[in-house]
Structure 1
Amino acid sequence: MRAPRECGSWFWDLDEVAAPGLESALVVASRMADVLGRHELLTPHRLEYDWYVLDSGGIGITTNLALTVPLGDPRLPERVLNSRPSGFPNAEVDDVHVVGVGVWNDAEGKPHREPRLVDLSVSPAPVGLSAEVSVHHDIWGWFDFSGRPHPDVHQHNAPRLAAALQDINSMLGVKGEPGEVTYFGFATELGIGTPDTLDDGSGPDVTDKL
């Protein structure tokens, strides 16, 4: 199951290592997606982004762009800008979300493909480039969403996420910061934290919010 909020996220402030702007954001997104792809966590299929007008705010329009060229293709920024809503010629691209599928492994180690297993977004904001990775499934934690321990599932998936986050840190030269705690979990430096265990050995049951 996929939670409506993330159970863990990581944020990279790239102001000192990458220029702001759409072209730079897509380059960073491509490099991060390559790392996630090596760990079979993300194969990009499309981009999703909102639009805003400077000094006015969001315009309430979201664009989905199929990735018919690689993320690192130099023609991609122009394709994104050419998708600007015709009624808003001054609109700028807000956060760019890289949408795709990833592979998770069950308790027996059998792989399964899952849409939006890992979410990747990059902000091209003129005040400074930043990026975020988030996860919404219970396979990364010691407990599933109903509070039952699933150590085999955890062992088949959590180390892959940790390795990918470490590789992203090394590639960017910036250490990702764990994001905010949500009802569904919290991030540690390289994974999902384990909540306090109840007397019967179970964890929190969060299925009421799924």
Structure 2
Amino acid sequence: MITTEPVGEWFWEPSPVLDAAVSGASRALALVGEVRDVLASLGLIADGGTGAVELCELSAMGRPLFERRDVPVAAMAEVAAAVRLLPGQHLTVSLRLPGEWPEAGVRRRAEELFVVRVHLWGQGGAILVLSAYADPWLTQDLRERPQPEVAAGNAPRLAAALERISGLTGVEVDPGDETRHARPTADGFADLLAEGAAYADSWGTFEVPARWRRLMKLLPGGYGEGDYEATTEESVRYAEVRCGERLLGFLWASADGAAGYEPRSAAGDAAFGAGVPWLLRFRAARSGGAGASEALDGCLGRTEDGVSVGTVVHRAPSPDALAELSGRG
């Protein structure tokens, strides 16, 4: 299962950058690049990804002096070169990296499998953070189903990455706090089959509502009385939502009047924005007196802003089953 919040994080505190005002941005960029190379050498990440650079005064962390997001990795050096870090300031350089992993004989992919970031202070102190956003390293998936074979095929590469990054920085790794999903350790994650999970069905309990809230923030006015019911116990009909060949999510409706959109977690940020025009079409259809199933049929084969709804209608036993499908690589 793929998450929008980290399944786990690991921290390193390398030696301070003595000339942070002169070379801080370039050193931070070099460090995230070196970690990216480590992950790539172990087959943990794929080509692509984007970066971000943010510079703030320590006294006003919520108001960046300089900010660039969704920067292609190849353009990060040019962006970082425009930043001068002064005492009393804080610089963050990060990379969001896609990755792939084997699972049950299939190659799974997530557009944000890892995030690598370096926090650098004007006085020279630095912290490196690695965050993971999926569960193939765990002996039990985030819906509490055992997957020891999946973990056996993926966890050793994560352990090797953590060890190599410690060698790269010259300091031992500091595992982050236990999350809602798992407990990070110095060599990956604790064995959930032995320890048990902190929460039952953590993906369904936390991730599904978090995805809903994120989607509603993008929908003008949020969810309201003008929208179809968002939940049902009935089976659902659904169609794929795509941008070209890229699957972004699923538009669905039920016979008892519920309808909605499930963003496909593996597609990353694009999956959320792709659902907005179709939810607005649903809203307009309901305002015009159309039922949920009729509204879905009215979207089939249409295209909005380069995003299309398929013409083939599939069935799922419940919205929860569809949400799980959307949460996989």
Normalised by the shorter chain, which TM-score bucket?
0.7 to 0.9
Count how many residue pairs are aligned between Structure 1 and Structure 2: 194
Asked whether the equivalents of residues 142 and 149 of structure 1 are also in contact (C-alpha less than 8 Å), the reply is yes
1:150: how far off?
Answer: 0.7
1:47-78 CA-partner distances (Å, limit 9, x unpaired)? 12334234333216852122235x6x5x4522
C-alpha separation between the residues in 2 aligned to 1:176 and 1:106? 27
Classify 1:16/1:139 alpha carbon distance in 2 versus 1 (closer, same or farther; 3 Å): same
Of Structure 1 and Structure 2, the greater helix share is in 2
1:23: how far off?
Answer: 1.4
C-alpha separation between the residues in 1 aligned to 2:90 and 2:17? 21
C-alpha separation between the residues in 2 aligned to 1:115 and 1:18? 35
Classify 1:113/1:54 alpha carbon distance in 2 versus 1 (closer, same or farther; 3 Å): same
Is the partner of 1:24 in helix, strand or coil? helix
Output aligned runs, 1:43-192, within 5 Å: 43-59=47-63, 62-64=67-69, 65-69=71-75, 75=78, 77-78=80-81, 81=83, 94-108=91-105, 110-127=106-123, 128-192=125-189
C-alpha separation between the residues in 2 aligned to 1:155 and 1:18? 41
Asked whether the equivalents of residues 3 and 184 of structure 1 are also in contact (C-alpha less than 8 Å), the reply is no
Correspondence for 1:38 among 29, 41, 63: 41
Which has the higher relative contact order, 1 or 2, with Cα contacts under 8 A spaced 6 or more apart? Answer: 1
C-alpha separation between the residues in 2 aligned to 1:18 and 1:180? 30
Classify 1:29/1:198 alpha carbon distance in 2 versus 1 (closer, same or farther; 3 Å): closer
C-alpha separation between the residues in 2 aligned to 1:137 and 1:156? 14
1:175-198 CA-partner distances (Å, limit 9, x unpaired)? 111001111111011111123659
Q: What RMSD, in angstroms, separates the aligned Cα atoms of the two structures?
A: 2.8
Report the residue type matching 1:208 in the other structure: T
Q: Which has the larger radius of gyration?
A: 2
Asked whether the equivalents of residues 49 and 96 of structure 1 are also in contact (C-alpha less than 8 Å), the reply is yes
Query: Could you state the TM-score of these two structures normalised by the residue count of structure 1?
Result: 0.79
In the alignment, structure 1 residue 23 sits paired with structure 2 residue 26: yes
Is the partner of 1:175 in helix, strand or coil? coil
5+ residue gaps, structure 2, are: 208-329
Classify 1:45/1:196 alpha carbon distance in 2 versus 1 (closer, same or farther; 3 Å): closer
Report the residue type matching 1:144 in the other structure: D
C-alpha separation between the residues in 2 aligned to 1:198 and 1:120? 28
Instruction: State the identity %.
Output: 25
Is the partner of 1:138 in helix, strand or coil? coil
**Aligned residue in 1 for 2:221:** none
Asked whether the equivalents of residues 89 and 122 of structure 2 are also in contact (C-alpha less than 8 Å), the reply is no
1:17-66 CA-partner distances (Å, limit 9, x unpaired)? 87642111111111111111111223452212334234333216852122
Report the residue type matching 1:170 in the other structure: G
Query: Could you state the TM-score of these two structures normalised by the residue count of structure 2?
Result: 0.53
5+ residue gaps, structure 1, are: 83-90
